[in-house]
Structure 1
Amino acid sequence: MPNNIVFNPVAEQLKTLIHGMKGTTATPFLLDSTTGKLLSTVDGSVTVAGTVTAQGTVTVTASALDVRPLSGSTDSIIVSSGSVTVAGTVTAQGTVTVTASALDIRPLSGSTDSFTLGSRIFVEDSTSIANVTGTGVVLTENTGNKSMYSYYITNTGTNTVTVKLQISPTTTATYFVDDGASYAIAGGAITVIATTKFMQYTRLYYDTGATAVTAQLYYNAQV
């Protein structure tokens, strides 16, 4: 039998074609025409250490997701553009900037607008005189922003005291003038008096005459 050369002795010309069995048919492996990488399809699961570059369509199915309520202490969301509509109550954490546009600013009208006054502010002041003889003024008050005010005098002594209200546009003593009549309050009696004219400042004037008087004096007002 002649001695024929079975293998090609030139190394650079050595080539081989690798096949795989498709059923009972030998089928050659296919390489990517651009990258030269082996093309393959895997049924089942593949574990890869490193980075995988997918070519074509990849379908990923997730299971055992950690679905839980979001928390302001651990989660956050950033809306870079567009608008968000929230149904319900929003609790803001941190700094919230609100910009308003197209405001309906118009004069109020009694036929279409109304408001409810829930309460008024009450203001009070008081002082006393004890065994005082002669004249004097007490409880000088700024009544310019008060809607209603009055003075309450109770004579706790036995001698009569005469009182009246004085009004002024300033706190300068020489600008005060009498408002209305004087009231003589006997020992043990009580009187409430109010101004008849409007000025910014009001005070209570008293005159005990030549006898000593003891009295409690009160100022009440509401805004």
Structure 2
Amino acid sequence: MLGATITAGTLSSAGTVTNILAGTITSVLGATITAGTLSSAGTITNILEGTITSVLGATITAGTLSSAGTVTNILAGTITSVLGATITAGTLSSAGTVTNILAGTITSVLGATITAGTLSSAGTVTNLLDGTITSVLGATITAGTLSSAGTVTNILAGTITSVLGATITAGTLSSAGTVTNILAGTITSVLGATITAGTLSSVTSISQRSFIELATTGIATSDTYTPLPANTTSVLGTYSYFIVNTGANPINTRVEISADGTNYFVDTTGDNPLPAGSVDVIVPARFLKYTRLSYQSSTPGAASTLNVIFDAQGT
């Protein structure tokens, strides 16, 4: 039938139908529709081009959606580019750049960089380049740097470069620079440290005490006793003066002690007169805050020279 118009009725079998203005097509088998609008369709095998305005309760098993409003469920396949879309639920098995994840769970992130946002619960985070961790509960940080931390419960290993204004309530510091205040606890080993103040309630042993040596050489004598600068002996345990008469005439020596640094008391005299070329050691008999050595020529007008070495051991 060529050039005919069918205004009503039923086509049980038709070859090519150019234009259907209205009506219902119950079943189309093996047909190709090149243009027009399908207001209600059951199964459409292949749509090569055009726009689908509304799809209700349909399943698209394959193909490409170039532009879509709301897609309720994508069971499988690949989304090449999502621009300005919101995914409210589901699973992304592989994604390039995800700008904002408002809620949900990320099971595995491989080789991704998260530049901003909040991780409410994370398994293993390999590297945090920047940002703030508000709360870490039950996590283990194996490496990296914490620039500012509130409370760190347990540090099993590693190095803390600088701790400013922090309080360490328990644990072990294997190597520390300056510790300002230790309120309680046990210090197992202190190597090369200086404790400026505080109280040590129990000390088992001090394996190596501090040693002090002060040498004064080429001292010229006179007819009256002349003191060397006083040594502060209040923080010392054992100390003594080693004296060598390096001159040609005998000398006299003595040790003087003081509590105020002004008034001195003669504590111990040396092996006087000490002949030229002889050696003597004077150990103070009494303890006060300041101790000094005084010297003079044994014979008036016969000057000599001496070397004095002060050796002391800390407490």
Superposition TM-score tier, normalisation by shorter sequence: 0.5 to 0.7
Q: Partner of 1:212 in structure 2?
A: 303
Is 1:51 the equivalent of 2:51? no
Q: Partner of 2:264 in structure 1?
A: 176
Q: 1:139 to 1:125 in 2, by over 3 A?
A: farther
Q: Select the residue among 163, 166, 178 that pairs with 2:253.
A: 163
Amino acid at match of 2:283: A
Residue pairs, 1:29-178, within 5 angstroms: 31-32=55-56, 39-43=58-62, 44-54=77-87, 58-62=90-94, 65-66=110-111, 70=126, 74=129, 78-86=133-141, 89-92=157-160, 98-101=166-169, 105=184, 114-130=204-220, 132-172=222-262, 175-178=263-266
Q: 1:63 to 1:46 in 2, by over 3 A?
A: closer
8 A contact 1:179–1:197 mirrored in 2: yes
Structure 1, unaligned runs of 5 or more: 9-14, 23-28, 33-37
Q: 1:130 to 1:170 in 2, by over 3 A?
A: same
SS of corresponding position for 2:157? coil
Q: Partner of 2:281 in structure 1?
A: 192
Shift, 1:84, TM fit: 3.0
How high is the TM-score relative to the length of structure 2? 0.49
Structure 2, unaligned runs of 5 or more: 9-20, 23-37, 46-52, 63-76, 97-109, 114-124, 143-155, 172-182, 186-198
Shift, 1:75, TM fit: 5.9
Q: Partner of 1:25 in structure 2?
A: none
Counterpart CA distance in 2 for 1:94 and 1:169 is 42
Which digits, 9 at most, give the CA deviation of each residue in 1:66-117, with x for residues without a partner? 3899456x4667252524345753345776764445899489876xx73543
The Cα RMSD (Å) is: 4.2
Q: Partner of 1:17 in structure 2?
A: 40
Which digits, 9 at most, give the CA deviation of each residue in 1:192-223, with x for residues without a partner? 11110111111112231312122222222121
Counterpart CA distance in 2 for 1:192 and 1:216 is 12
Counterpart CA distance in 1 for 2:235 and 2:311 is 13
Amino acid at match of 1:222: Q
Shift, 1:54, TM fit: 4.6
Q: 1:40 to 1:148 in 2, by over 3 A?
A: same
SS of corresponding position for 1:195? coil
Which digits, 9 at most, give the CA deviation of each residue in 1:27-69, with x for residues without a partner? xx9844xxxxx743344434345234457x6333239943899
8 A contact 1:164–1:204 mirrored in 2: yes
Greater length-normalized contact order (CA 8 Å, ≥ 6 residues apart): 1
Counterpart CA distance in 2 for 1:115 and 1:17 is 95
Counterpart CA distance in 2 for 1:131 and 1:59 is 97
Counterpart CA distance in 1 for 2:226 and 2:259 is 20
Q: Percent identity?
A: 22
8 A contact 2:270–2:280 mirrored in 1: no
Q: Partner of 2:292 in structure 1?
A: 203
SS of corresponding position for 1:132? coil
8 A contact 2:240–2:283 mirrored in 1: yes
8 A contact 1:125–1:139 mirrored in 2: no
Amino acid at match of 1:80: S
Q: Paired residues, what number?
A: 200
